[in-house]
């Protein structure tokens, strides 16, 4: 290093004097300029003299080798610059600290100054000695020490060190770190704080320099390209740790890692790709009002910091108020122009407009430009200087649109032609990326310019292509990728791969350099795009079916009166067929909303309901067929048929002229069906209880929910439930395997609860006739499907049906529907019929009345029974409850019931009532008895409508006690006869719990959980009655041979005692809590674990009140006599 | 000793194109460049400051001990004062300064790291 410097130094020495003179001159004006400065300088000269004196002797001694060898150390303390005539003075003022610092800084180059000072001292000191000596003392005394110190400090600063280009001659490779150098340590810091931390380290190093514990780091640095870390140069990690101590944002705990010596240099060599800007380059503005806007570089300052840009102005043409016009208010206004405010649109500067809006005094004309709000506008463009940092120079990708804006000059000047080369330049990088083997390209640059061919291979930036045409045909050549562009010729069918026209396809009509113009297949408009964004493509298409929030075939509201269906989507417009059959071209913003017609119902020509997705055909006119896309106001239907070419197959017609292609059943045709759906009394209760959605909507097909058996095909004999139907195809959820299969309805048979099968389409009883009773009550139940479709499907058993009917809930949970019933249309309807219930309207206990009037034994029965059960049923109909209860009791015996009923002359077709006449005694177990409730039919809407004298349902109830169970469904809300109380009687004494219930195999799994109680031991003196009323759990129950007493092992709850107890004394505890887990030990649900949903108010076991229970994880409700309900423990 | 800018993040910080020292513009104006004032003469001369310094620099080095630091040596700032230096400075000094350096036999090395040997 020093070797290198010596020659340099020599050079300096020669030129030294010269330079010093220059320096002196340069210094002088600087020093003199402030008048203050002359003083210190004079003083300085004096001081120098003094020092000079002191040293004179020594200097003489060593004259030839630099006279001031002794002085040199002193000089070292000060700046030994070329003009160090004042050096000695400074020495006298002698601020030690500063000197020391100086020494550190300049110690290395003393020899240079040595030579220089020689001359200076000689010349200056002698010249000034005499002059200044005399005045020196005075002035010295005048000054305060502070002033002196200041003056000296200033002098120090003023000294310019000769620039020597230290170490410039050493090649960088020789500066590589060696093992003797300190190491670099990587320290994690908070991202974004790197620079602050480096600065903090520097300040800290200075602060603690002279303390007991100075920082031992040599340097620290940060690179912008290495976020989250800084590098500290130090001898050990400990020193780094120490240096970082107490700095916020440094994470030394994340490890201080040694940078391998070979990587040290590269850390300082990292270089981010820099884009150099030249006039004409396209850039984007990073932030502010023009954020994202394209701009063109007009000029650059030399250091590349300020860049003059030309861009399209965004002038606010609606200044908010007069205050905004007032320049004084500008400051106030600014903060309000936050991100929330709209930025003005891009618009070329128009002098007249600005004058109009802003007034004359805001715009001034200067040469060809206008000055407005401190910005210069030329040719309509804003010309403004931006900082380099405020620009985006990478990935600018200007679009053709943007660029053409720049060429569209107000005055139509010469620049009208698109500077394609500039654009090409801007998008060149991207162009390389979009090339693919097989692309047809042409070379537009370099020696091979003009050659075209097919790309074989792309290797980095080099494209290998097979030339075509001319004499080069077939030759392979390698061309830099930036020199080629895709080649298209008129007639090519192309597709746009990028940009705003993405996915547009069309035929090329012209090619100009790299701009290709094609006619869009969709809009038939000419579109110009860069060839780089194109590909040859055979496809024609719209690409997407969605623009904004709207999709193809959406029903959209265009204005208050008009709706339409989107039948075609173009790039950013829709073609919409409105309800008047007119086609409109609509922009997304013209659509006020999308409409949902999935729930809309309309009626077709036959009065069928018409829904979205129904397949229909026109009954008049052209007889077009189609699928209903939407209905509007129950009047217009938008249909779609792929076979119709016009309007994409969408056409509009009136719903009244449509007929369903798939014939619907008669049932739904009837007005009755529709009306019943509209009857709030019918719908309301259902809504509250079972998942209301399904109920409210009603079935599309009455088969939905039916329990069916597959009779053909691979699934033959499988049982399932119809979940959905579509024409002849039904989706059937199989009981087994939890699968849903699609199957032809032909292969299905309705499965009756008794296991019998019947064709699905067997005509159902029409509600408004009391219809010939079928042998099967379910058929009739089916007609209620509307209200309880899945009940039937899932549980083909009467209890279920009962249990799930809304009526149950309604009656037990809500104010008795019957009470309400009086107000429903149904009631009114019935009241119009010659139905005794009509009278019931007024009084809430029609039954009473009715019974009272008829010579019906039930009437009396009712009287008798009333007291016992009346409590169970809502205040509104206690009488009814009672009334039904009694007959039920007798029901087992009574076939007379039937007759009574009929004779009672309810007006119902007698046969309807007669048929069910099944012996009630058949009991719960016989399926046939369940079919009894034919009268249920009476409960159908027809009843409510009062179209028939169907009302006498109660008669039916009384007639067949078993039937009572099924009745409630039917009657849900409307018929008083449905009184739930009917059930109570129905359980005759013949229905008991099997004394050996404990040993029923279906209960085995639950045995240990059964909560039981010991009863009856007192009277039997069994075990002295000690265990009477003790509760416990069954440990084991084994059925013994018939001749032995049946026993079970019980553990008692209170003391944990275990012993065998005779089974007949073991009685289930009473389920008393809502949500209690229970096991059903009798009836159809035997063996099922359920949950108590609702408890009867009255839990007299002997009367077998009902407990409403539901399966644990389903929302279904069953009614089970409480004696069959055994609570389960954990 | 160079003036240590008080604001590390300030966008206005400038780096000397010749020696890469980073200072606030005000410090350049007051005291010039601590290393190359003799050549660049930026003191009290905003124009010179504008042409001889730049805000376009990347990486900041805190040179605590120039004499012993390898980083400083690598950056060829080992003979300069202590202070903040830029790792890389974009731009070149004005031509007349370059000429001046050449006439002194000093090779000018731009600090943009574009050519390294």
Q: What is the pLDDT of residues A449-488, one digit of tens each?
A: 778 888 888 776 778 888 887 677 778 888 877 777 788 8
- Nearest-angstrom CA–CA distance, A1034 and A1017: 17
CB atoms A164 and B73 under 8 Å: no
Specify the long-range contacts of residues A1083-1090, CB closer than 8 Å, at least 24 apart. A1083/A799, A1083/A924, A1083/A1120, A1083/A1121, A1083/A1124, A1084/A797, A1084/A799, A1084/A800, A1085/A799, A1085/A1118, A1085/A1120, A1085/A1124, A1086/A1000, A1086/A1002, A1086/A1124, A1087/A1000, A1087/A1002, A1087/A1003, A1089/A1006, A1089/A1128, A1090/A1118, A1090/A1120
- CA dist., res. A900 & res. A881, Å (int): 19
| Confidence tier at A219 by pLDDT (50, 70, 90) | very high
Q: Which helix (H) or strand (E) holds A529?
A: strand A526-530
Looking at the DSSP assignment, which residues form a beta bridge with residue A265?
none
Residue of A nearest to B5 (CA): A199
Contacts of A12 in chain B (CB under 8 A): 104
Stretch A720-732: mean pLDDT: 84
Closest C-alpha to B108, from B98, B96, B94: B98
Burial of A73 (0-12, 13-18, 19+ CB in 10 A): exposed
Instruction: Using the structure block, give the residue that is written with the tokens 């449509």.
Output: A658
Say if residue A198's pLDDT is above 80: yes
Give the pLDDT score at A788.
39
Chain A and chain B share a number of CB contacts under 8 A equal to 183
What pLDDT does residue A1116 have? 66
pLDDT at A294: 87
Q: What is the pLDDT of residue A857?
A: 40
What DSSP designation does A542 have?
A: -
Pairing of strands A650-654, A636-640: antiparallel
CB–CB of A389 and B55 under 8 A? yes
In a domain, B8, yes or no: no
Q: Flag if A167 and B76 touch (Cβ within 8 Å).
A: yes
Q: Is the Cβ of B37 closer than 8 Å to some Cβ of chain A? A: yes
Write the CA distances from A255 to A188, A250, A709, B29, integer angstroms.
7, 11, 73, 41
Quick one: average pLDDT of A1014-1021?
79
Say which residue, A556 or A912, is predicted with more confidence: A556
Instruction: Check residues A208 and A701 and name the one with the higher pLDDT.
Output: A208
Residue A1069 has what pLDDT? 81
* DSSP letter assigned to residue A519: E
Q: What is the ipTM of this complex?
A: 0.96
**Which of A760-764, A971-975, B4-8 has the highest mean predicted lDDT (pLDDT)?**
B4-8
* Distance separating alpha carbons of residues A155 and A142, to the nearest angstrom: 19
Residue of B nearest to A214 (CA): B64
d(C-alpha A585, C-alpha A541), whole Å: 18
Question: Is residue B64 very low, low, confident or very high in pLDDT (cuts 50, 70, 90)?
Answer: very high
B9, B59, B109: best to mutate for the A interface, most A CBs within 10 A: B59
Which residues span the domain enclosing B39? Answer: 14-103
Answer yes or no: do A200 and B8 touch at CB < 8 A: yes
- Is A220 within 8 Å of B108 when comparing Cβ atoms? no
With respect to residue B111, please indicate whether it lies within any of the assigned structural domains: no
Please give the residue that has the higher pLDDT: either A411 or A722: A722
> Tens digits of per-residue pLDDT, A277-302?
777 778 888 888 888 888 888 887 76
Asked whether the beta carbons of B6 and B85 are under 8 A apart, the reply is: no
Measured distance CA(A472)–CA(A33) in Å, rounded:
77
Residue in B6, B52, B62, B87 to test binding to A, most A beta-carbons within 10 Å = B62
A419's CB contacts (< 8 A; 6+ apart) are: A280, A403, A407
* A268 vs B67, B68, B74: nearest CB: B74
Of B4, B43, B106, the CB nearest to A199: B4
User: Residue B76 and residue A268: Cβ atoms within 8 Å?
Assistant: no
Q: What is d(CA A611, CA A597) in angstroms, rounded to the nearest whole number?
A: 9
**Does residue A144 sit in helix, strand or coil?**
coil
Q: pLDDT at residue A765 above 80? A: no
Q: Is A1120 exposed, middle or buried, given 0-12, 13-18 or 19+ CB atoms closer than 10 A?
A: buried
pLDDT of residue A419: 54
B39 touches A: beta carbon within 8 Å: yes
- Kindly report, residue by residue over A992-1004, the tens digit of the pLDDT: 566 677 777 777 7
Tokens of A1072: 């008393």
Nearest to B65 among A218, A274, A389 (CB): A218
Residues 4 through 33 of chain B touching chain A, CB cutoff 8 Å: 4-5, 8-9, 11, 17-18, 31-32
Are the beta carbons of B69 and A218 separated by less than 8 Å? Answer: yes
Does residue A159 carry a pLDDT above 80? no
Q: Which residue's entry shows tokens 């506008």?
A: A377
Roughly what angle, to the nearest 10 degrees, separates helices A896-904 and A878-891? 140
Cα dihedral: A904, A907, A910, A916 (round 10)? -80
Weakest mean pLDDT among A412-421, A507-516, A741-750, A1021-1030: A412-421
CA distance B73 to chain A (A): 7
Dist CA A383 CA A1058 (whole Å)? 101
Token readout for A610 is: 């018409």
Are A389 and B116 inside 8 Å of each other by CB? no
Of A113, A75, A107, which Cα lies nearest the Cα of A94? A75
Cβ contacts (< 8 Å) between B13 and chain A: which residues?
none
Q: Are A173 and B87 within 8 A, CB to CB?
A: no
Please tell me if residue B96 touches chain A, with a CB cutoff of 8 Å: no
Flag whether B116 is in a domain: no
Does any domain span residue B113?
Answer: no
Q: Does B76 touch chain A if contact means CB atoms closer than 8 Å?
A: yes
Torsion angles phi and psi, residue A940, rounded to 5: -65, 165
Dist. CA B40–CA B32, nearest whole Å = 8
Cα A690 to chain centroid distance, Å, stands at 31
Q: What tokens appear for A716 in the block?
A: 């033959």
3-state SS class at A802: helix
B80 touches A at CB < 8 Å: yes
CB within 8 Å: B117 and A172: yes
d(CA A428, CA A7): 50
Provide, as residue numbers in chain A, all residues whose Cβ is less than 8 Å from the Cβ of B71: 184, 218-219, 221, 233, 268
Q: Which of B9, B84, B91 sits opposite A202 (nearest CB)?
A: B84
CB contact under 8 A, A199 and B5: yes
Q: How confident is the model at residue A1068 (pLDDT cuts 50, 70, 90)?
A: confident
Contact A911, A885 (CB under 8 A): no
A206:B108 CB<8 A: no
Residue written as tokens 């980073």? B22
Alpha-carbon gap: A65 to the closest alpha carbon of chain B (Å): 25
What does pLDDT average to over chain A? 65
H/E segment holding residue A517: strand A515-520
The answer to whether residues A66 and A52 touch, using CB atoms and an 8 Å cutoff, is: no
- The SS3 assignment for A1037 reads strand
Name which residue leads in pLDDT, A194 or A789.
A194
* CA A737 to chain CA mean position, Å: 35
Count of Cβ atoms closer than 10 Å to residue A763 Cβ: 12
In a domain, B112, yes or no: no
Is pLDDT above 70 for A939?
Answer: no
A470 touching chain B per CB within 8 A: no
DSSP β-ladder status, A593-595 and A729-734: unpaired
Chain B residue numbers with beta carbons less than 8 Å from the beta carbon of A199 are: 4-5, 8, 60, 62, 84
Which of A26, A157, A206 comes nearest B31 by C-beta?
A157
Grade residue A317 by pLDDT with cuts at 50, 70 and 90. confident
**Tell me, what's the pLDDT at B5?**
87
Question: A275: helix, coil or strand?
Answer: coil
SS3 A66: coil
CA distances from A19 to A26, A165, A168, A465, A1004 (A): 10, 16, 21, 64, 116
Helix/strand/coil for A964: helix
Judge whether A248 is closer than 8 Å to chain B, CB to CB: no
**Inside any domain, residue B5:** no
Q: Which residues on chain A are in Cβ contact (under 8 Å) with B60? A: 195, 198-199, 221-222
Report the chain A residue with the minimal C-alpha distance to residue B19: A165
Which residues have C-beta within 8 Å of that of residue A992, sequence separation ≥ 6?
Answer: A1123
Of A351 and A943, the one with more pLDDT: A351
Q: Residues A1000, A994: contact at Cβ < 8 Å?
A: yes
CATH numbers and ranges of domains, chain A: 2-158 (no CATH), 173-269 (3.30.70.940), 282-416 (no CATH), 442-485 (2.30.30), 490-543 (2.30.30.30), 546-664 (no CATH), 669-702+764-981 (no CATH), 997-1127 (no CATH)
Using CA atoms, how far apart are residues B33 and A72, in angstroms rounded to an integer?
25
Confidence at A121, pLDDT banded by 50, 70, 90 = low
Q: Is A112 helix (H, G, I), strand (E, B) or coil?
A: helix
Q: How many CB atoms lie within 10 A of CB A813?
A: 15
B62 has pLDDT over 90: yes
Task: Look at residue A49 in the predicted model and tell me its pLDDT.
Answer: 46
Which residues between 793 and 852 in chain A have a beta carbon less than 8 angstroms from any beta carbon of chain B? none
Give B83→chain A minimum CA distance, Å. 7
Strand order in the sheet with A1125-1127: A1118-1121, A1106-1111, A1089-1094, A1077-1080, A1125-1127
- Chain A contact for B45 (CB, 8 A cutoff): no
Domain total of chain B:
1
Q: What is the pLDDT of residues A1074-1096, one digit of tens each?
A: 777 888 877 777 777 777 777 66
Task: Report pLDDT for A187.
Answer: 92
Residue ranges in A789-845 assigned as alpha helix (H): 789-794, 798-804, 806-813, 817-821, 825-832, 837-840
Q: Whats the size of chain B, residue-wise?
A: 117
Gap from A177 CA to chain B (nearest CA, Å): 6
Q: What are the tokens at A680?
A: 């709030």
Q: B6 lies in a domain? A: no
Beta carbons of A305 and B56 less than 8 angstroms apart: yes
Higher-scoring residue by pLDDT: A496, A413? A496
Calculate mean pLDDT across residues A571-587. Answer: 83
Confidence check: pLDDT of B22 > 50: yes
Asked if residue A782 has pLDDT above 60, the reply is no
Mean pLDDT, residues A322-329 taken together: 48
Residue A1042 · residue A964 · CB < 8 Å: no
pLDDT of residue A837: 44
pLDDT digit string (tens) for A540-554? Answer: 655 555 666 787 888
User: Per mean pLDDT, which of A143-147, A547-551, B55-59 is the most reliable?
Assistant: B55-59
Which residues of B are less than 8 Å from A190 in CB distance?
none
A13 touches chain B (CB under 8 A): no
The count of C-alpha atoms lying within 13 angstroms of the C-alpha of A1082, restricted to the half-sphere facing its C-beta, is 22
Contact call for A199 and B8, based on CB within 8 A: yes
* pLDDT exceeds 70 at position B53: yes
Instruction: Give the residue-averaged pLDDT of A148-175.
Output: 68
Query: A383 or A684: which carries more pLDDT confidence?
Result: A383
Q: Which residue of B has its CA nearest to A265?
A: B74
User: Which of A400, A432, A434 has the alpha carbon at shortest distance from A419?
Assistant: A400
In this predicted structure, which of A418-432, A510-524, A639-653, A1062-1076 has the lowest mean pLDDT? Answer: A418-432
Give the closest of A177, A199, A303 to B62, CB-based.
A199
Chain-chain contact of B38 with A198 (C-beta, under 8 angstroms): no
Q: Do B64 and A215 touch (CB under 8 A)?
A: yes
Choose among A1121, A1094, A1119: nearest CA to A1105. A1121
Residue A6 has pLDDT above 50, yes or no: no
CATH number assigned to the domain comprising residue B54: 3.30.40.210
Share of chain A above pLDDT 70, in %: 52
Determine the average pLDDT of the residues in A230-238.
91
For residues A974-1007, b (16+ Cβ closer than 10 Å) or e, as one string? bbbbbbbbbbbbbbbeebebeeebbbbeebeebb
Q: Which of B31, B45, B47, B46 is nearest to B81 (CA)?
A: B31
Residue with tokens 């002085």: A71
* Cβ-contact A600, A590 below 8 angstroms: no
């Amino acid at each position: 290093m020093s070797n290198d410097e010596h020659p340099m130094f020599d050079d300096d020495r020669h030129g030294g004097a010269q330079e010093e003179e220059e320096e002196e001159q340069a210094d002088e004006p600087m020093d003199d300029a402030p008048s203050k400065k002359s003083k210190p300088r004079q003083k300085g000269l004096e001081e120098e003299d003094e020092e000079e004196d002191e040293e004179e002797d020594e200097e003489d001694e060593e004259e030839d080798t630099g006279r001031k060898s002794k002085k040199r150390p002193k000089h070292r303390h000060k700046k030994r610059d070329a003009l160090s005539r004042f050096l000695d003075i400074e020495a006298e003022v002698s601020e030690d600290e500063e000197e020391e610092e100086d020494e550190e800084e300049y110690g290395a180059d003393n020899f240079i100054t040595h030579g220089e000072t020689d001359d200076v001292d000689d010349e200056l000191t002698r010249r000034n000695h005499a002059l200044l000596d005399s005045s020196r003392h005075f002035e010295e005394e005048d000054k305060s020490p502070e002033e002196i110190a200041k003056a000296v400090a200033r002098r120090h600063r003023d000294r310019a060190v000769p620039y020597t280009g230290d170490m410039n001659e050493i090649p960088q490779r020789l500066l590589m770190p060696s093992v003797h150098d300190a190491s670099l340590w990587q320290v994690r810091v908070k991202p974004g704080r790197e620079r602050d931390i480096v600065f903090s380290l520097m300040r800290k190093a200075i602060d603690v320099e002279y303390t007991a514990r100075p920082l031992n780091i040599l340097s620290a640095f940060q690179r912008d390209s290495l976020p989250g870390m800084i590098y500290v140069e130090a001898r050990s990690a400990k020193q780094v740790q120490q240096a970082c101590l107490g700095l916020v944002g440094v994470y030394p705990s994340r490890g201080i890692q040694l940078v391998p010596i070979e990587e040290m240099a590269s850390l300082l060599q990292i270089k981010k790709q820099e884009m150099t800007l030249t006039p004409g380059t396209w850039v984007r503005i990073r932030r502010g009002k023009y954020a994202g806007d394209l701009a063109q570089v007009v000029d650059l300052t030399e250091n590349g910091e300020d860049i003059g840009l030309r861009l399209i102005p965004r002038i606010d043409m609606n200044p908010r108020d007069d205050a905004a016009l007032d320049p004084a208010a500008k400051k106030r206004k600014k903060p309000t122009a936050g991100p929330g405010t709209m930025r003005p649109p891009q618009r070329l500067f128009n002098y007249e407009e600005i004058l109009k809006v802003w007034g004359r005094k805001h715009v001034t004309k200067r040469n060809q430009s206008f000055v407005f709000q401190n910005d210069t506008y030329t040719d309509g463009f804003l010309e403004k200087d931006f900082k380099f940092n405020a620009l985006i120079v990478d990935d600018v990708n200007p679009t053709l649109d943007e660029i053409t804006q720049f060429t569209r000059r107000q005055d139509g000047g010469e620049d009208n032609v698109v500077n394609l080369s500039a654009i090409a330049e801007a998008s060149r990088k991207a162009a390389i990326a979009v090339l693919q083997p097989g692309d047809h390209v042409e070379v537009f640059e370099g020696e091979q310019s003009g050659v075209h061919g097919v790309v074989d291979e792309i290797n980095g930036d080099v494209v290998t292509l097979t030339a075509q045409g001319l004499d080069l045909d077939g030759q392979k050549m390698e061309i830099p990728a930036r020199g080629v562009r895709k080649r298209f010729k008129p007639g090519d069918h192309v597709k746009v791969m990028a940009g705003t026209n993405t996915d547009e396809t069309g035929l090329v009509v012209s090619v100009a350099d790299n701009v290709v113009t094609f006619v869009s297949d969709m809009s038939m408009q000419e579109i110009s795009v860069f060839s780089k964004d194109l590909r040859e493509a055979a496809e024609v298409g719209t690409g997407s079916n969605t623009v904004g929030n709207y999709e193809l075939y959406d029903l959209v509201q265009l204005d208050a009166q008009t709706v339409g269906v989107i039948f075609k989507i173009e790039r950013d417009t829709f073609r919409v067929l409105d309800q008047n059959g007119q086609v409109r071209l609509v922009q997304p913003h013209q659509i006020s909303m999308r409409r949902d017609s999935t729930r809309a119902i309309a009626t077709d020509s036959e009065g069928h309901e018409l829904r979205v997705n129904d397949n229909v055909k026109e009954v008049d006119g052209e007889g077009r067929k189609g699928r209903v896309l939407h209905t509007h106001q129950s009047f217009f239907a938008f249909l779609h048929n792929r076979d119709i070419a016009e309007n994409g197959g969408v056409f509009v017609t009136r719903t009244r002229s449509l007929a369903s292609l798939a014939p619907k059943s008669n049932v739904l045709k009837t007005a009755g069906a529709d009306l019943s759906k509209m009857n709030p009394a019918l719908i309301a209760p259902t809504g509250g209880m079972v998942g209301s959605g399904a109920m409210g909507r009603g079935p599309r097909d009455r088969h939905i929910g039916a329990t069916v058996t597959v009779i053909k095909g691979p699934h033959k004999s499988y049982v399932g439930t119809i979940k959905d139907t579509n024409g002849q195809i039904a989706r059937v959820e199989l009981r087994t395997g939890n699968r849903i299969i699609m199957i032809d309805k032909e292969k299905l048979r309705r499965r009756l609860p008794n296991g019998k099968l019947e064709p699905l389409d067997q005509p159902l009883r029409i509600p408004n006739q009391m219809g010939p009773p079928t042998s099967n009550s379910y058929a009739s139940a089916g007609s209620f499907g509307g209200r309880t479709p899945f009940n039937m499907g899932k549980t083909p058993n009467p209890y279920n049906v009962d249990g799930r009917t809304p009526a149950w809930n309604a009656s037990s949970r809500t104010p008795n529907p019957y009470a309400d019933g009086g107000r429903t249309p149904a009631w009114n309807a019935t009241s119009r019929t010659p139905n005794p219930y009509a009278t019931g309207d007024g009084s809430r206990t029609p039954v009473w009345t009715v019974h009272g009037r008829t010579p019906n034994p039930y009437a009396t029965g009712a009287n008798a029974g009333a007291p016992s059960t009346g409590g169970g049923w809502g205040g509104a109909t206690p009488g009814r409850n009672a009334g039904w209860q009694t007959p039920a009791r007798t029901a087992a015996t009574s076939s007379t019931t039937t007759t009574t009923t009929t004779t009672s002359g309810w007006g119902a077709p007698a046969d309807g009532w007669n048929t069910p006449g099944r012996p009630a005694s058949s009991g719960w177990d016989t399926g046939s008895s369940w079919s009894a409730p034919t009268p249920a039919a009476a409960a159908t809407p027809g009843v409510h409508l009062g179209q028939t004298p169907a009302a006498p349902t109660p008669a039916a109830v009384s007639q067949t006690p078993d039937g009572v169970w099924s009745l409630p469904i039917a009657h849900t809300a409307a018929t008083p006869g449905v009184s739930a109380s009917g059930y109570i009687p129905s359980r005759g004494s013949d229905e008991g719990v099997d004394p050996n219930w404990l040993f029923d195999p279906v209960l085995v799994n639950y045995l240990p959980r059964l909560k039981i109680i010991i009863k009856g031991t007192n009277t039997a003196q069994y075990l002295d009655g000690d265990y009477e009323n003790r509760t416990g759990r069954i440990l084991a129950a084994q059925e013994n041979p018939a001749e032995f007493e049946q026993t079970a092992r019980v553990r008692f709850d209170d003391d944990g005692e275990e012993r065998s107890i005779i089974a007949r004394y073991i009685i289930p505890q009473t389920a008393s809590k809502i949500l209690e887990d229970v096991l059903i030990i009798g009836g159809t649900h035997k063996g099922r674990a359920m949950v108590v949903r609702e408890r009867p108010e009255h839990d007299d076991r002997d009367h077998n009140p009902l407990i409403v229970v539901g399966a644990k994880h389903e929302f279904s409700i069953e009614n089970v006599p409480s004696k069959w309900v055994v609570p389960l423990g954990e | 000793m160079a003036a240590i800018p008080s604001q590390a993040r300030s966008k206005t910080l400038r780096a000397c194109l010749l020696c890469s020292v980073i200072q606030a513009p005000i410090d350049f104006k007051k005291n010039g460049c601590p290393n190359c004032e003799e050549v660049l003469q930026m003191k009290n001369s905003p124009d010179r400051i504008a042409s001889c310094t730049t805000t376009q620099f990347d990486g900041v080095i805190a040179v605590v001990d120039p004499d012993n630091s390898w980083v400083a040596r690598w950056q060829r700032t080992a003979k300069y004062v202590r202070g903040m230096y830029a790792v890389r400075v974009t731009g070149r000094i004005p031509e007349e300064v370059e000429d001046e350096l050449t006439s002194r036999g000093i090779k000018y090395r731009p600090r943009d790291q574009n050519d390294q040997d």
